[in-house]
Amino acid sequence: MAANEDTFLHLARPLGPAPVGTQPSTHPLTVIVQPQALLSVLDHSTRRPPDQTRVIGTLLGTRSDADDSTITIHSSFAVGHTETTDQVEVDMEYQKTMLDLHKKGNPKEVLVGWYATSSELNTFSALIQNFYGGQGDGTWPYPAVHMTVSTEAGKGVEVRTYISAPVGVTPERAADSAAFIPVPYEIRYGEADRSGLEMLAAAKDREDRTVATITDIESLEHALEDILGMLDRVGKYVEGVIEEEDDTLPNTSLGQYLLNALALAPKVDPADIEKDFNNHIQDVLAVSYLANTIRTQMDLSNRLATAPLTMGGPESTSLATKEEGGQQSQRGGGQRGGRGRGGQQREQRDQREPVSAI
Amino acid sequence: MPAPANTLLIEGSFAELADELAQYIDTVCKSEAGSGVQSLIAPTLGEIREKEQAEEPAEPASIQTQKDEVLKKIVGKAAVLNTAPEKEFTAAYNLLIHLSNQSPSRDMFLNRICSYLSEQPVASSAQFGPSLALTTLTTIFNILPNNSESRYHVFMAILKVIRSTSNNAAFDALTPQLNTNVPKWVVAWDLDDEDARSLHVAIADVAAASGDHDMSYKYLLHGLETIPSDSASEAESRDLAKRTLVAALSNPTITDFNPLIDREAIQALRDSDSGLFDLLNIFASDDYAAYTEFLESNPLTSIDLPESAAEMLETKIRLLTIASLAAGAANRSLPYSTISEALQIPKEDVEMWMIDAIRAGLVEGKLSQLKQEFLVQRATYRVFGPKQWSEIQGRLMVWQRSLEGVLSLVKSEREKFEREGAGGDDMQQNGERRFGGYRGQGGRGGRNQNHQPREVDFVGGD
């Protein structure tokens, strides 16, 4: 992301208050942002009133147990606020109620900080930060995380995360000021998140903003195409090295790495693969054959159990089986008829199934 | 979009804040009322206030000069902030940085503050002193613009503090931030070769002090890159080259010497320290036999290598010899006898050595006790030439071709399914076609399958 262009260092967090009974820690902090939190922030931003430049909300997540040096942001909710040139109002009551409600649903998630949808920091940010990091309703004694997400239309989304340190030597000054300390963050997503996001991104460039879900086989195709593209790139580089083109410098460690990666492919005889494959196919077929046989047996026994034994003669039995359904239960009557009907209906489906499942 | 220019947010005019800070400094150093900084700057502050409140705005330049005067006095006394209580330390320093940051001669003030933090211990807190200093130093670092050369000086001060602390947490936090940032910084700060070198060497020193020898070597190597070719044989570059070389040889995990040999500063050692250079060549491409031969004529102490490194060097050259043997093995198998001969070790130790080599990541393969040989799956090439590159190309081509095959098959099957399967909701067609495919592959499987519909027919027609 473009935010990486400007660099910062984060080596130690400011000495803050410590939970009772533990040493205060100055261990550096990292923030992990999960995509759903980011999505809900962006969603909030798109629904803001047109005259408001930024909106804010509460971040919820977990702290790592050992030394609370890793903060994971799981989700967020919007908090209403109004900003004028000389004052800011945050709906504290709402924030508190929402937090309580959220805690009922997700007892493990705690308040970790707040977000604003503008990269800018101002003195109101300092005020709100001190509120979120304060005692009572805030994150105290842990530092509150402030995440800014720039949401200017037409530009890339930039995320920054901060914690704060006090500034000023008098209590009054310290109350409405803060030194924001940038801390590193990481957006961490799983496989499922990734494919979900890819689908969202696919709909981005379409007029109707819709995209059909892709099937497994299509995603396999996409993956194959991706890999082919990567192979192509590597191939071009290697070709450049061999042809001794000027703009490709041979890098021995890269070559070694490639060779190591390529050596991971198992060296097996094609004939062996053929053999293994055929053996496997035979196993699969044997299993499916056995499964079908068992199903046939069950069908047979079902029929035998529900066949109207009182009726003599093979002709009527076959008639009953062919006519099926209601007629059958009428004939069987009583208790057994009821059971028989269920059996029959199942049977109807079963009859087709062995054929279609092959 | 750049980062917000200002991360220190505090309300209040310069005069108010300066007054408060001066008062605070006076309290910390317990000076008598009337003789502290506050009284010293009071007249100037008064003038600034008057000028700012005057109807006709005075020239900004003259106010600025006066502000600088005040700042000079405050910063001059600010060293006493090191004795401030640990809870107030950061807050007070932040305010000082905020005030200094507004001045045009910001760099001068901030440099002074840096020296307070890096050279004098934080008296009030023995336990958290270094962390407090680091927090404040990083704040200074972060508020300076990206391309400011002052950042370089601040960074050097940070390294100094990290080096002097016994606490490894700061170093651990620094490491991941360095990899991508250092090259960018060198460009952004517009450092000349010499400064860039001292930056890399300073990082290497810090790494060595924290016990991370791999990283130390890495940055020494980067430092070597900055030596221009015409000064490669100067005494200073020679020392650095020697240091890097010794670090590489005596680090058990470094087995790739190719990046080292290409450096001009190392090449310059050929004349000045021929013994060390020869040893490097042996480690880069030769085997155990050459090493023992070398030792006969040059004892380790004669080439500035400690005697204690002898055992490690011997182990390393043996492992490297294994790598060479494995890479050159015909039809991928390496008899135990060849290994024991080349390494000059008893035959029963061969497996131990092979396991060590596998663990070091130099080779991969299977040991066969029955056949008394090592089946090579992968070997590290110590000399990487055109032959290896074409091998890569060959393997890439094979991979690409087979993947293309898979892709076209998947595609055609999918299209076939869409053409035929879209209308019919029953899976039967699909299923039969799939089996049709199998039948082509495995004849017997197909035949088995033929029985099945008949079985089903039997059930249905009963």
Angstroms from A69 CA to nearest CA on chain B: 11
Q: Are strands A30-33 and A70-79 parallel, antiparallel or unpaired?
A: parallel
- Inter-chain residue contact B146 with A119, CB threshold 8 Å: no
Residue intervals of chain A classified under CATH 3.40.140.10 are 2-191
User: How confident is the model at residue B28, as a pLDDT?
Assistant: 83
Among A167, A180, A282, pick the best mutation site for testing chain B contact (most B Cβ within 10 A). Answer: A167
Calculated CA dihedral for residues A96, A97, A102, A104, nearest 10 degrees? 110
Enumerate the residues of chain B whose CB falls inside 8 A of the CB of residue A9: 138, 141-142, 155, 158, 174, 177
Does the pLDDT of residue A93 top 80, yes or no?
Answer: yes
Q: Which amino acid is at B271?
A: D
Q: Which residues of B touch A123 (CB under 8 A)?
A: 9-11
**Cβ–Cβ contact B91 with A under 8 A:** yes
* Residues on chain A touching B92 (C-beta within 8 angstroms): 169
CATH architecture for residues B318-379? Orthogonal Bundle (1.10)
Q: Give the pLDDT score at B442.
A: 40
Cα distances (angstroms) measured from residue B159 to each of B36, B77, B117, B138, B152: 34, 25, 12, 11, 11
A111: amino acid identity, one letter:
L
The pLDDT of residue A332: 43
pLDDT of residue B234: 77
The ranges assigned to domains in chain B are 1-104, 130-135+145-207, 318-379, 386-410
- CA dist B52 and A12 (Å) reads 39
Residue A9 and residue B158: Cβ atoms within 8 Å? Answer: yes
Instruction: Specify the pLDDT at position A296.
Output: 95
Q: Cβ separation of A303 and B460 shorter than 8 Å?
A: no
Contact B455 A24 (CB under 8 A): no
Average pLDDT along chain B, 462 residues, taken 10 residues at a time: 68 83 83 71 82 70 83 84 82 87 84 84 75 86 84 88 77 83 86 87 88 87 81 78 85 81 80 82 86 83 75 88 84 86 88 90 86 84 81 88 91 86 50 44 41 40 38
Q: Do B448 and A286 touch (CB under 8 A)?
A: yes
**Chain B contacts of A221, Cβ < 8 Å?**
407, 410-411, 414
Selected residue of B20, B135, B408 to mutate for chain A interface (largest A Cβ count, 10 A): B135
CB A58 within 8 A of CB A97: no
| Token pair 């984060």: residue | A10
Contact across the interface for B400 and A235, Cβ inside 8 Å: yes
pLDDT above 50: residue A134: yes
The answer to whether the CB of A11 falls within 8 A of the CB of B138 is yes
The CA distance from A26 to B235, in Å, is 42
- Which residues are CB-neighbours of B44 under 8 A, at least 6 positions away? B66, B69, B70
In words, the CATH class of domain A2-191 is alpha beta
Evaluate whether ipTM surpasses 0.90. Answer: no
Q: Which residue among B142, B177, B441 sits closest to A281, beta carbon to beta carbon?
A: B441
DSSP state of A307: S
Q: Do A167 and B95 touch (CB under 8 A)?
A: yes
CA distances from A281 to A210, A304, B126, B442, B443 (A): 40, 35, 72, 7, 10
In this complex, which of A6, A178, A296 lies closest to B459 when CB atoms are compared? A296
